[in-house]
Amino acid sequence: MSFALQAIGLSKTFGSGAGGVKALDDFSLDIPRGGVFGVLGPNGAGKSTLFRLALGLIKPTGGEVRLLEQPAGDPRALRRIGSMIETPRFHPYLTARETLVMLSTQSGAASPDIAGWLARVGIADAADRKTKGFSVGMKQRLGLAAALITRPEVVILDEPTSGMDPSGILEIRALIRELADRDGVTVILASHQLDEVQRVCNRVAFLAKGKLTAVEDLSQTEEKLRILATPQAAVLDILGKRGTADGEAVLAAIARPEAPDLIRALATRGVDVVEARWVGGDLERAYLFHTRS
Ligand SMILES: Nc1ncnc2c1ncn2[C@@H]1O[C@H](COP(=O)(O)OP(=O)(O)OP(=O)(O)O)[C@@H](O)[C@H]1O
Ligand SMILES: [Mg+2]
């Protein structure tokens, strides 16, 4: 098996003495190549620190981290990596297009399709505006294009959709899946949006207080349609084995294309459907369980 990222007994302490913060504490994790890997955990758990260490932006206090089986910061690995750590910053007086031209020239990428990437991240309209006027979401979008334009084998994205509008979130979600499924890129993603993680990630690691608490395969935990309707008994009756009560609601283990038929059937039976929404299986519960203090 070949690995995108490996942390081996990795520690990072910021500051020293009583005021020191252990951001990562003897942390070990293997992320194999392929698919989308989520890194989850509360604020301050150590996610961004892990990414910074892997990219060689900061030095560990102890242990080791490897990217594409090379030591952190090794230029041979970094050339094959794209990354966006928190909200990216750009030269304020360059336009979005100029920014990408400059970054791709620096990295020696072969004739990148800059217009194509601007469109793919949804900022084609702002291509010739200076980035100093960009909103947070626009900077995130440009940051993604900057991370991807060199056609990396592994992309590290730290909260790529924070600050994005809902349609941006959907577009980026689709882009990430496409990168993994069509282009064979390994995506490593930190996010607080559990519904996004549920839809986009194949596997996730949970971090709490600088430690790895669990790794889960998400292909096992399927999403369900949570239906709030009266009478509940009628919903359970129609669903049979595929329905389970969840408080006043019912969780339906059905596939997305079956939802319209189910809701029609409920209406036909005189059931009042107040709400029906997809919920991310057990991820919320798993998150709370694995990151509790
Ligand atoms: N440069 C720094 N100097 C001092 N402390 C730092 C520094 N960078 C991170 N820390 C501390 O290390 C811990 C881990 O921070 P980190 O940014 O890795 O968390 P995170 O999991 O990315 O959180 P978030 O979800 O809020 O982004 C926190 O306690 C943070 O305050
Ligand atoms: Mg962070």
Q: What is the pLDDT of residues 164-174, one digit of tens each?
A: 889 888 888 99
Give yes or no for residue 14 CB within 6 A of ligand 1. Answer: yes
Give how far the C-alpha of residue 27 lies from the chain's centroid of Cα atoms, to the nearest Å. 20
Q: Which residue has the higher pLDDT, 127 or 18?
A: 127
Ligand 1 atom with the shortest distance to the CA of 42: 25
Ligand 1 atom with the shortest distance to the CA of 52: 18
Contact 174, 148 (CB under 8 A): no
Within 10 angstroms of residue 1's Cβ, the number of other Cβ atoms is 6
Give yes or no for residue 46 CB within 6 A of ligand 1. Answer: yes
In this prediction, residue 235 has a pLDDT band, given cuts at 50, 70 and 90, of: very high
The pLDDT value recorded for residue 111 is: 67
Distance from C-alpha of 48 to C-alpha of 100, rounded to nearest angstrom: 24
Return the ligand number nearest the Cα of 59: 1
Tell me the mean pLDDT in the region 281-292.
83
The pLDDT value recorded for residue 208 is: 95
Contacts of 16 (CB under 8 A, 6+ apart): none
Contact 131, 142 (CB under 8 A): yes
The pLDDT value recorded for residue 128 is: 96
pTM of the model: 0.82
Q: State the virtual CA torsion across 73, 84, 107, 185 in degrees, nearest 10.
A: 90
Within 10 angstroms of residue 17's Cβ, the number of other Cβ atoms is 5
Q: Strand, helix or coil at 93?
A: coil
